Amino acid sequence: MGLLMLEKFVNGCQLPGASPAEIAACEAKLKVILPAEIKAFLAASNGFNGELGQGYRILWSAAELSGADGYEIFEFSDDQL
């Protein structure tokens, strides 16, 4: 997600973004390597909570993701990232 895209949704962005250490800790806890798009999003906005398009969206922060043990959080199709 480009930074210009984030500017459109600034009211729901969780700023500042996650630090590289927070993202690495999330990956270590989950024992996965996050897709580049998710890392870029987390670095720009550590989660999102607000209107997006015609609906309301909540995208988890690095801390929330790392605590998501047991959820199928990476069972998405490519067009959902």
pLDDT tens-digit map of 5-50: 555 555 777 778 999 999 999 999 888 899 998 999 899 889 888 8
38 or 70: which leads in pLDDT? 38
**Phi/psi at 33 (5° precision):** -105, 120
pLDDT tens-digit map of 41-51: 899 889 888 88
Rounded Cα distance between 35 and 61, Å, is 15
